[in-house]
Amino acid sequence: MDETRNEPRAADAVEAGLLIRGVRRGDREAFLTVIRLYQQKVFQMAYGFFGNREDALDIVQETFLRVHEKSGLFKEGYGLQGWILQIAKNICIDFYRKNYKKRKELESRQSLDELNLAAPADPHSGRASDLPLLVGRCVNRLAQRQRLVFVMRHYQEFRNEDIARILKISTGTVKSLHFKAVQNLKTMLAPYWESQP
């Protein structure tokens, strides 16, 4: 875990069982502990998915409310982090379908020039850091699963095995989705590369 970000460490299986039993009993402190442990991870995932802070915070809230409501469905012995991120992923997808689909369709109709992908990297013009920004915008144009894998791999620094467990897919599929995502990003960013010296 990155100490500089002061993130709490994830609970192990025994602690997770204790915490979830507490949540089921209505123990507020146990629920607060669960939230404190995982809210930042859920936020990172949602932020990577939507690129919007307010939406990410909404996703965090909705995720933990659902965790509280469905705590009876958690199977002890399984990873609590994986279960919570699965819930977060489902909420992200629902939220995306409700609020983002039309926006993405509009955006996909825009040309690459409109997205300013070919903007030159000029340190004096304040555009030296354009590439991360452009990558972020291009990530939002990726297909749902590719985006999820990409965000979890690069923004949350999950291992392929963890991503596979959370998304309930095989490690091979995770690798394939990640590779496709990177390929698509490369294609989308081709004008930018061409404009570079």
Partner 1 sequence: MKACARIERRLGKYASGHLPPGEREAIMTHLRDCPSCRAGEARWQRLLEAASAGKLDSDRAMTGIDWEGLAQRIADEAERRAAGRRARPEPRPGFFGWLFRPAMAYLLAGLVLGGLGMWAVFKAGVFNPKPRPGFYASSEFLDKAELELARRETVDYLERSQYLLLDFSQTSADPSGAARRIETASGRAVDLLARKKFINSQLDAVPMAKAREICDQIEALCLELSQLGGRLDDAQWREIQGRVRRSQLLLKINLVKKELQSREI
Nearest distance from C-beta of residue 102 to partner 1, angstroms: 24
Nearest distance from C-beta of residue 23 to partner 1, angstroms: 9
Piece in contact with partner 1 (CB under 8 A), picked from 50-58, 82-90, 95-103, 107-115: 50-58
Contact 152, 163 (CB under 8 A): yes
Q: Is residue 170 part of the contact set for partner 1 (CB under 8 A)?
A: no
Nearest distance from C-beta of residue 32 to partner 1, angstroms: 5
Q: Is residue 157 part of the contact set for partner 1 (CB under 8 A)?
A: yes
Nearest distance from C-beta of residue 92 to partner 1, angstroms: 14
Among residues 81 and 156, whose Cβ is nearest to partner 1? 156
Given 11, 20, 47, 167, the residue binding partner 1 (CB under 8 A): 47
Number of residues that bind partner 1 (CB under 8 A): 44
Work out the end-to-end distance of the chain between its first and last CA atoms, rounded to an integer number of angstroms: 37
- What does the block give as tokens for 187? 């294609």
Q: Is residue 31 part of the contact set for partner 1 (CB under 8 A)?
A: yes
Q: Is residue 92 part of the contact set for partner 1 (CB under 8 A)?
A: no
Q: Is residue 32 part of the contact set for partner 1 (CB under 8 A)?
A: yes
Distance CA 76, CA 115 (A): 47
Contact 154, 132 (CB under 8 A): no
- What does the block give as tokens for 149? 């894998």
Q: Is residue 132 part of the contact set for partner 1 (CB under 8 A)?
A: yes
Name residues contacting partner 1, limited to 55-84 (CB under 8 A).
56-57, 60-61, 64-65, 68-69
SS3 per residue for the chain: CCHHHCCCCCCCHHHHHHHHHHHHHCCHHHHHHHHHHHHHHHHHHHHHHHCCHHHHHHHHHHHHHHHHHCHHHCCECECHHHHHHHHHHHHHHHHHHHHCHHHHHHHHHCCCCCCCCCCCCCHHHCCCCHHHHHHHHHHCCCCHHHHHHHHHHHHCCCCHHHHHHHHCCCHHHHHHHHHHHHHHHHHHCHHHHHHCC
**Residues that bind partner 1 in the complex, under the rule CB under 8 A:** 5, 26, 28, 31-32, 35-36, 39-40, 43-44, 47-48, 53, 56-57, 60-61, 64-65, 68-69, 129, 131-132, 134-136, 139, 150-151, 154-157, 175, 178-179, 182-183, 185-186, 189, 193
